Amino acid sequence: MSLPPPMPLEDAQARLLALAAPLPIERVDVEGALGRYLAAPLHARRTQPAADLSAMDGYAVAHGDLAGPWRIVGESAAGHPFAGAVSGGTAVRVSTGAVLPQGTGAVILQEDVARDAERLHLSGEAPHPAHKHIRPCGMDFADSHEVIAQGTLLGPAQVALALAAGHKHLPVCRLPRLVVIDSGDELAADPEACAPHQVPASNGAMVLALARALPVDARRLGPVEDTLEAITAALEASAEADVIVTSGGASVGDHDLVRPALEAWGASLDFWRVAIKPGKPILVATRERAGRRQIILGLPGNPVSSFVTAYHFLMPLLRALLGARDAVARQVTTRLAAPVRANGPRREFLRAQWDGAAVTPLTLQDSGALSSLSASNVLIDRPALAPAAATGDEVRVYLLASGGIA
């Protein structure tokens, strides 16, 4: 029986993400929400600033009283507002962030005045327009307005904004429970005791490290030997996971047992094989258990193939479960610093180094070569059947830092 053709990358990603509903919502303290995604729109509980403030150190005067002279009648400092009102011919000393006194509408910079005891004279320029040095009430946001959209990644600025908007706790999705399973008789658990017929078990650690760029509850199992019983037992030991990732054994060889193990465990294959290089033999399966869906990703065993498929499938899946608005990695456009050959029938991702101005593809592109993956900070996206490209030609690249989301 002939196999169906491999799926295009975007089709496969869309099909995978359609399986993933955001996890249940919990509320955490604002600082503990750093690195997570907002699970509902956030509306301000206060106005910022709550009153007109001075943006500079100087003297507050009435809006139409910019020529002086003035008599100084008090001071307004940050956190200590002036209690009275200001009329023509009078001024109040103000500091940056201080509330403007009642009756004032302009701030004259301290370097533009000369002070003699309690008298003040204009010695420089009056502000133009008059409100130039004033932060008006509600300049940043107003009470009840949406300040952070649902699905936004909560970084340092968003944490500060949430606090400024009057929130102590934020709604976020529960952390995904992830299990990564290494399988293969050739894998040595101890890299310092690796026989000539073995290779150190590194794929699981690599995939786990990539996943931990996101907030996840993750652990690793293995190496698991290449038997149906051992792989099925590892799957059963992962029964509480939201996402299970296997590395190796996802193809159709005599020793590729992930598919039959998944079937024996009660999982159903959703799709298999994607038209990319490296990483074609990725599989996606699901298992319905106790009213919830587990998603299983079977990654190829070659280390670079495992990394590329984890980048394009595991990371978007985890972001979707965390409630991200933008789950799929973004691309940037740059120029080649060296030529690249014509591409074959599969979309290819070339390991490369990008200096911010141009990108240099690395010479070693074998899917088993971790050294060139380690030396890369981007993947060049080469469409299927793309012609050869010359130095200076534009290309699209995926950034590897943080799993592709800045």
Average of pLDDT values for 73-80?
A: 96
| pLDDT exceeds 90 at position 71 | yes
Residue 1's pLDDT is what?
47
Residue 11 makes CB contacts below 8 A (sequence gap 6+) with none
Instruction: Check: CB of residue 180 under 8 Å from CB of residue 172.
Output: no
Q: Cα(347)–Cα(309) distance, rounded to whole angstroms?
A: 13
Q: Cα(119)–Cα(106) distance, rounded to whole angstroms?
A: 18
| pLDDT exceeds 50 at position 406 | no
Residue 251's pLDDT is what?
62
Q: Cα(157)–Cα(136) distance, rounded to whole angstroms?
A: 21
How many angstroms from the chain centroid is the CA of residue 184? Answer: 32
Looking at every residue in the chain, the average pLDDT score rounds to 94
Residue 256's pLDDT is what?
74
Residue at token pair 């690599």: 206
Residue positions counted in the chain: 406
Among the listed residues 313, 297, 274, 260, the one whose alpha carbon sits nearest the alpha carbon of residue 4:
274
Neighbours of 313 (CB within 10 A): 24
pLDDT-wise least confident of 19-28, 145-154, 243-252, 366-375: 243-252
Average of pLDDT values for 209-230?
A: 94
Among the listed residues 189, 173, 262, the one whose alpha carbon sits nearest the alpha carbon of residue 223:
189
| pLDDT exceeds 60 at position 109 | yes
Give the phi and the psi of residue 194 in degrees, each rounded to 5. -110, 115
What torsion, rounded to 10 degrees, do the Cα atoms 254, 257, 258, 260 define? 110
Average of pLDDT values for 197-209?
A: 94
Average of pLDDT values for 51-72?
A: 94
Neighbours of 161 (CB within 10 A): 21
DSSP 174-209: PPPEEEEEEE-TTEES-TTS--TT-EE--HHHHHHH
User: Cα 162–177–183 angle (5° rounding)?
Assistant: 140
Instruction: Check: CB of residue 79 under 8 Å from CB of residue 49.
Output: no
Among the listed residues 130, 176, 170, the one whose alpha carbon sits nearest the alpha carbon of residue 153:
170
Helix (H, G, I), strand (E, B) or coil at 318: helix
**Residue 3 pLDDT level (bands cut at 50, 70, 90):** confident
Instruction: Check: CB of residue 74 under 8 Å from CB of residue 84.
Output: yes
Neighbours of 89 (CB within 10 A): 13
Domains and CATH numbers, the chain: 9-23+174-321 (3.40.980.10), 25-47+140-173 (3.90.105.10), 53-135 (2.170.190.11), 331-404 (2.40.340.10)
Q: Cα(297)–Cα(284) distance, rounded to whole angstroms?
A: 5
Q: Cα(403)–Cα(350) distance, rounded to whole angstroms?
A: 16
Structure tokens belonging to residue 405? 């989301």
- In this prediction, what percent of the chain has a pLDDT beyond 70? 97
pLDDT-wise least confident of 150-154, 288-292, 341-345: 288-292
**Residue 2 pLDDT level (bands cut at 50, 70, 90):** low
Question: What's the N-to-C CA distance of the chain in angstroms?
Answer: 44
